[in-house]
Amino acid sequence: MKVRRRVFLLFAVWMLLLVAVLSFLSYLDAALSSSPASHTIISVGWAGYIVSSPFNEQHQVVAISATWIVPKINASAGNGCSSAWIGIGGQIDKTLIQVGTEHNLQNGKENYAAWYEMLPGYAIKIENFTIVPYHRIVASLMLVDNESDIWNIQLSDTSNGQRFNRNFAYKSELSSGEWIVERALINGQISNLADFGTITFSDCKATLDQESRVIGNYSYSTVHMTNQQLTTLAETQPLNADGSSFQVKYLTSN
């Protein structure tokens, strides 16, 4: 009788463990299915998020958009550079088309500007477009003609109504989409990072082939900016619950 009771108890315990394991595996499978895979990257120049075609069934990135608030540079931290931008390409190939804002401090003087760039060309300042701290910027890049490689670049300041909207011819590999805070490369040397405090990106979307989705609906990479000694200079925060917004926080200049 004691042996039968012991066998029954062991069988009951085994069944409970089996049910617990199966329940956990079911939960884990559901969590992985609803949350695409993510990856972490460290970079000496970039912080933010990247969606790339190798992690998303080789789909081409043909459009990207975002909104951000222009930061106010902290002059007490000393000279430095920072920019906020969206781009297509540049992670795993040499093509990169970008549009964004810069917020620098040189010799104690704050400098803010809007620009676009198509590598290997240099950044081009958008004339007659005044960048003001705390203003809301809306930016987009879109491939409008695949056969002739025509791109539309738009940048708007919703706080004062300024708008830039032009088409350009550019050949892109369409391999990745980026939402980035960057410190500049000047005369071959990486600059100190300007103390921008926090930059908040929102409404971050990318179109892969014909489908437009927010960052969180793709497999993405989180990028943290470090120096060569791996000290974190700018930390990228997790995506918000909406999957389309996040913050990059300044930690130190170099």
Q: State how far the Cα of 16 lies from the Cα of 137, in Å rounded to an integer.
A: 56
Cα end-to-end distance, the chain, whole Å: 74
What pLDDT score was predicted for residue 78?
Answer: 86
Q: State how far the Cα of 253 lies from the Cα of 234, in Å rounded to an integer.
A: 9
Is the pLDDT assigned to residue 205 strictly greater than 60?
A: yes
Q: 38-250 maps to which CATH number?
A: 2.60.120.700
DSSP per-residue letters across 180-197:
EEE--EETTEEPPBP---
Distance of CA 35 to the CA centre of its chain: 17
- SS3 state of residue 15: helix
| Band of residue 92 on the pLDDT scale cut at 50, 70, 90 | confident
What pLDDT score was predicted for residue 122?
Answer: 93
Q: Which of 21-25, 71-75, 119-123, 239-243 has the lowest mean pLDDT?
A: 21-25
- SS3 state of residue 144: strand
Is the pLDDT assigned to residue 14 strictly greater than 80?
A: no
What pLDDT score was predicted for residue 60?
Answer: 96
Contacts with 175 (C-beta within 8 Å, 6 or more apart), sequence order: 52, 53, 54, 60, 61, 89, 91, 92, 93, 95
Strand extents, DSSP E, the chain: 38-43, 46-52, 61-69, 83-89, 96-106, 109-118, 124-125, 136-145, 150-157, 162-169, 176-182, 185-186, 189-190, 198-208, 211-214, 220-226, 232-236, 246-250
Average pLDDT, the chain: 87
| Band of residue 63 on the pLDDT scale cut at 50, 70, 90 | very high
Q: Which of 22-31, 76-85, 93-102, 144-153 has the lowest mean pLDDT?
A: 22-31
H or E element, residue 73 = none
User: Minimal CA–CA distance to 199: which of 155, 245, 158?
Assistant: 245
Alpha helices, DSSP H, located in the chain: 2-34
Strand partners, 185: 190
- Residues 28-59 have pLDDT tens digits of 233 333 344 579 999 999 999 999 998 999 99
Question: What integer is the mean pLDDT of 124-143?
Answer: 98
What pLDDT score was predicted for residue 136?
Answer: 98
pTM for this prediction: 0.85
Count Cβ atoms below 10 Å from residue 42 Cβ, excluding itself: 13
Are 213 and 206 in contact by the 8 Å Cβ rule? The answer is yes
Are 92 and 174 in contact by the 8 Å Cβ rule? The answer is no
With pLDDT > 70 as the criterion, what percentage of the chain qualifies?
Answer: 85
Question: What integer is the mean pLDDT of 107-118?
Answer: 96
User: Minimal CA–CA distance to 88: which of 68, 48, 118, 57?
Assistant: 118
What pLDDT score was predicted for residue 152?
Answer: 98
Read off the tokens for 154: 């738009």
Burial of 83 per CB tally in 10 Å (0-12, 13-18, 19+): buried
What pLDDT score was predicted for residue 76?
Answer: 85
What pLDDT score was predicted for residue 37?
Answer: 59
Domain spans of the chain? 1-34, 38-250
Q: State how far the Cα of 240 lies from the Cα of 244, in Å rounded to an integer.
A: 7
Question: What integer is the mean pLDDT of 214-225?
Answer: 97
Question: What integer is the mean pLDDT of 148-152?
Answer: 98
Say which amino acid occupies 114.
A
